[in-house]
Structures are given as C-alpha cells and as structure tokens.
Amino acid sequence: MRKIKQFSRSGRPFGLFLSAFGMFIVSTDSLFTRVAEIDGWTIAFFVGVFSVPSMSIIVWKTLGKKVVSEINNYRWPLFISAALAAVGTTAFIQAVTRTAVANVVTIVAGAPIFAGLIAKFAIGENTSGRIWKAISGTFFGILIIVSGSLATGGLDGDLMALLAILVFSTNLVIWRHFKEMSRTLVVLIAPIFIMLFTFIPAQFDALDKRALLCTLGMGLFVGPIARLCMVSATRHASAAEVSMFTPVETIFASLWVWLWFDEVPEVTTFIGGFLVLASVFYGIRSNK
C-alpha cells in the first residue's frame, strides 16, 4: 500500500490552510450578529466578555509563567496589535448591524490588496505592477458598493466595514513582521480592549436569551478559533497570501444570511462585488 503523506504543520501550505479555515469559521459571525437582534456595541462588549475566559485558559496552558516575559519582550507591538484587533472586531459587528451583510463581506474581500499595499510601505514586501492594478480595481469596486448604499441607506455600515478591513490588513503586516510574538496573547488582550471601547455605549439590559446564546457562541468559540487561525497563519505565509482567503468569508457569510433571512444583495453589491473579487484573484495570481 502507498504510504499516505502526512499533512505538515509548518510551511506555506499550512499557513494557507489556517487562513482558509479561519475565514470559514468567522463567516458565521455575521449570522450570529443578525440573529442576536440587538445593537452592535452590546454584541461587541459581550463577545469580549465571553472571549476572555477561554483565551485565558489557552494562554496559561501555552505560556504559563512566560506570560510576563512575553509581554515585556513585545510590549508595544503586542498592545497595538490587540487594540487594532479590537477596533476591527467592533467595526465589523457595527457594520453588520447597519448595512447588508453582502456589502460588509464584499468590502472585506479587498483585504489582500490592502495588506499588500501596507506591507509594501511598512516592511518593504514587494508589490508588483499587477498588485497595483488590482488595488485600482478593488477601490472602484468598493466605490460602486458604497454608491448603492447612498441610495438605499447603510453608508455608515459600509464605512465601518472599510475601517474593519483597514485595521485587519494592518494587523496582518504586524503579525508577519513579529513572527515570534505570542499569538495567543494578542487574542487574549484584544477582547479586553473591546470591553474598554464598548463599555459606555453598550446596553446591558438589552441582552435577552437569544442574544446571550449568540454572543456566547461568538465569544467562546467562533472568535478565539478564527483569530488564532489568522494570527498563526502569518508565521507561515505572507500577509497578502494569508488575506487572499477573505473571499471564503464573503461567499459563506452571504450564503448564511440568504438562507436564514432571505437577504438578497442590491444590484450595486453584485456589480461592485464582482469587480472586487475579480481584482483580488487577478492580484493573487502575481504571488504564484
């Protein structure tokens, strides 16, 4: 019998697998947020609350007494990365509560282009002419999506989605640059920042049983698993390569809300989304 080749837990293929799996898991965030039927600030706050216990256990198991030394070694990049992750998560949840999910996840699909652009100027990763063309296509695609929201409402949600993807792309570059920085600590500190950012606007009395179950699922399982996959993927692949799997979220998140809520995207979302995805895949081919 032929010996089955063991799947390697290192190298570029493993990094791409982690990225794809993380994006598939996080695609359920949009559905949970919609099902909760409460405001985004409150959802984000309780997602932060429920993320801390599970991540604290993971950090203790993986780092133990090395936690203090790890914080001292990577103090500024660690806290900046965690703060950016908190802003990104909060902005994403706000976006889903303010505009069509398809709009949000289609804008998010532009991550590879933004990550490549930021990596070019921040850490000197090469950006080809093909990538610059893809950046232009992505930009115009997002403009088309936003133009649809000007007529139908939801512009603030589109802008929140744009903020989310900008900070996410920036974080990919930080994680790529500081490869040895503890990923579990980033994922633990991020929800603490989320709670700090959302404590004042959160409406605690709005949390009913449905919202409790949704935020519990997002905080205990979806968020930590997805974030650990994404931050770990950058140890094995470039920022642009890791982010190229954001279309996985675009496809599945749109599918979940279509099946659950029968939410059909606007025509401008289809047109702009096609341009964004086509530009992303065009740009990705330059990395092969």
User: For 47-88, how does the pLDDT look when each residue is reduced to its tens digit (9 = 90+)?
Assistant: 999 999 988 988 888 888 888 899 999 989 999 999 999 999
On average, the pLDDT of the chain sits at 83
Of 93, 86, 277, 238, nearest to 167 by C-alpha is 86
In a domain, 1, yes or no: no
- Mean pLDDT over 226-244 rounds to 77
Range of the domain at 171: 12-287
In a domain, 5, yes or no: no
Please state the domain count of the chain.
Answer: 1
* The pLDDT of residue 281: 75
* Beta carbons within 8 Å of 124's beta carbon, 6+ residues apart: none
- With a pLDDT cut of 70, the percent of the chain lying above it is 89
In a domain, 4, yes or no: no
> pTM score, two decimals?
0.81
Quick count: other Cβ atoms within 10 Å of Cβ 206?
15
* C-alpha to C-alpha distances, 180 to 5, 69, 175, 184, 235, nearest whole angstrom: 28, 13, 9, 11, 8
Quick count: other Cβ atoms within 10 Å of Cβ 130?
14
